[in-house]
Amino acid sequence: MNAIDPLRNQAQRDKPWIFRTYAGHSDASESNKLYRTNLAKGQTGLSVAFDLPTQTGYDPDHVLSRGEVGKVGVPITHLGDMRALFDQIPLAQMNTSMTINATAAWLLSLYIATADEQGADRAALQGTTQNDLVKEYLSRGTYVFPPRPSMRLTTDIVVFTARELPKWNPTNVCSYHLQEAGASPVQELSFALATAIALLESIRARPEVAPEEFGSVVGRISFFVNAGMRFVTELCKMRAFVDLWDEITLKRFSVLEGQHRRFRYGVQVNSLGLTEPQAENNVYRILIEMLAVTLSKKARARAVQLPAWNEALGLPRPFDQQWSLRMQQVLAYETDLLEFGDIFDGSKEIDAKVAELKAAALEELAKIDAMGGALAAVESGYMKMALVENGARRIEAIERGEQIVVGVNKFTTSEPSPLSAGDGAVVTVPDSVETEAVGRLKAWRAARDGKAVEAALTELASAAKEDRNVMPASIACAKAGVTTGEWAQTLREIFGEYRAPTGVDTTKLGDDAGLATVKAAVAKAAERLGRPPRFLVGKPGLDGHSNGAEQIAVRARDAGMQVSYGGIRQTPEEIVTQARETQADIIGLSILSGSHLPLVRDVTARLRVAGMDVPVVVGGIIPPDDENALKNMGVARVYTPKDFALDGIIADVAGLSAKKG
């Protein structure tokens, strides 16, 4: 018979990747319900989203936590919260990814303490701590300590887990947020690999890691990447990652075992490219981006988590997350993808593009090496500046129509979408969540053994000062009842805090022709004021997504405005003080964490008390109802992702600044 059996390869099917959704909000109990529901729907691993106070080492009652508790993830303040988060979820049988960086040692300690209480064998624990501090200085912004102490903490986790949690991935070297911040494929490759090289050098220098153990430690290093819409280029980028990691670990670090040189990575596809206009188009974008990291067997992701189609509108509902999960399951179980070898091997086009990306990445890596490595390139501001510049070029290309985004700058005529209509189109986190978290925190502090807490923190401080691994002391802190803020503050007092370069103090990025219209608007405002308009760009709260604020600051400066931008993590009081000191004509607040209402309310109230008549504009992911609420507070303009034309925003801001008083 010549008939081809359509099921001939079923027996040889590869196992699918781990299916995850990135989830967590409100409080530990609510997030636990969401996790158990998603696992029942066929999700095969957990990906925990922590709120910004947890990520940056603050308790819910800290001034910087106001408005941020439970908004972009779940607040985990102490062991009681971690118990509730994983209630009825056996950790010995679960694969858990935790997106946590500056406080990774602490959250992993809480996880281990919870597993110990469950009676789980530490050697059975499987999962990942993101634990890549370098990219935090460049993109996401949830750093706490300076780069070198942060690398020390990252290395502590790697060394500890190698002995205690051999199945755990102690770090995801993370290029995901680099792309979100404007990185090109070459910058993703080179900056991420430079970070990995710095980490491997730090590990190799540790006396606890014997030379014969080094290869197996390298084998547990994983990556977390992004996949955008340039489908072929993204697929080739992943194949280039595979080749370059193999070459670097072999030639530079003498890792001889092939299995230890495998490029192991998880992925979330591009959230930056999700659009507010015609948001239903995001379903297709997510699918196409997923294909780039699953079709090539040689470079297939080990775990995939997909954003929901409506994340440009707000926090997704359970149905929206289910839709993204089903997308993975349909590809894995209904198609024949997993029955074949790599379908791109031997392609001249693919091979040529991979070679091009590798050559450019190696050239950039050599430049970073000459600077002294990744940490030096962060401290000098080189990496941040490069991302801001490339991000500016991307935005200009969209504005000019050179890069088409369907529904945004082309094919904008649209029917109303029933998917996002009506109440409940996105999840909202009530302000009561913060009040309840503060109440639980007070009760926790009152019930614990204060002397045990003090002793545990003293031992933690000693370990940090004496350059001992902080993990054993951190686990002891978790079991004694120490809180997230107390753990972080103890290390802040030893390592200090850090303010990363903003990347906006660069040469002019826009060309004069492209800026002609907005320059005219700024000149008109300057004529009325008798000087260039003064524009204060502020980032209140803990939101570290600074890309939008940076691009606004750069474009406004290039157009002729006098711009003040102090970077991330400012209190409302600090913003109002800065506005007074700089005699700002207008204040722009960028908030993408969902905490816009309480933070803007605080800023505008302080301006009124100070007698400052300064117009305020706000940008972020802001639902229509919240937009109306902000305007009722006196906010002059609200900009959301649909307002992608920066020149229009700057011209608008310039006009408002000239109306001050």
Active site residues: 22, 176-177, 539, 543, 545
- Which residues, other chains included, contact 430 with Cβ-Cβ below 8 Å and sequence gap of 6+? none
Question: Residues 398, 400, 403, 409: what is their CA dihedral angle, to the nearest 10 degrees?
Answer: 70
**Under 8 Å between Cβ of 396 and 182:** no
The residues pairing with 523 across neighbouring beta strands, listed in sequence order, are none
DSSP reduced 3-state for 42: coil
Could you tell me the two tokens for 320?
A: 């929206």
State how far Cα 113 lies from the chain centre.
26
Nearest-angstrom CA–CA distance, 201 and 151: 11
DSSP reduced 3-state for 543: coil
Instruction: Provide the residue type at 426 as one letter.
Output: V
**Under 8 Å between Cβ of 251 and 311:** no
**Under 8 Å between Cβ of 268 and 226:** yes
The residue written with tokens 């008549």 in the block is 613
State how far Cα 118 lies from the chain centre.
30
Could you tell me the two tokens for 650?
A: 């700057």
DSSP reduced 3-state for 410: strand
**Under 8 Å between Cβ of 364 and 190:** yes
DSSP reduced 3-state for 18: strand
- Which residues, other chains included, contact 639 with Cβ-Cβ below 8 Å and sequence gap of 6+? 617, 618, 619, 620, 649
Which H/E stretch holds residue 452? Answer: helix 450-465
The string of DSSP codes covering 106-171 is: HHHHHHHHHHHHHT--GGG-EEEE----HHIIIII----S-HHHHHHHHHHHHHHHHHH-TTEE--
C-alpha angle 286/539/434, rounded to 5°?
80
Distances (CA, A) of 529 to 256, 524, 653: 68, 9, 14
Nearest-angstrom CA–CA distance, 604 and 596: 12
The residue written with tokens 């634990």 in the block is 131
Instruction: Provide the residue type at 428 as one letter.
Output: T
The string of DSSP codes covering 478-509 is: HHHT--HHHHHHHHHHHH-------S-SSS--
The string of DSSP codes covering 254-288 is: ----GGGG---EEEE--STT--STTGGGHHHHHHH
Nearest-angstrom CA–CA distance, 587 and 189: 37
Could you tell me the two tokens for 310?
A: 């409506």
DSSP reduced 3-state for 228: coil
Backbone angles phi, psi at 100, to 5 degrees: -150, 140
The residues pairing with 536 across neighbouring beta strands, listed in sequence order, are 564, 587
Backbone angles phi, psi at 466, to 5 degrees: -90, 10
Residue of 621, 612, 620, 652 lying closest to 636 (CA atoms): 652
Q: How many CA atoms lie within 13 A of 104 on its CB side?
A: 32
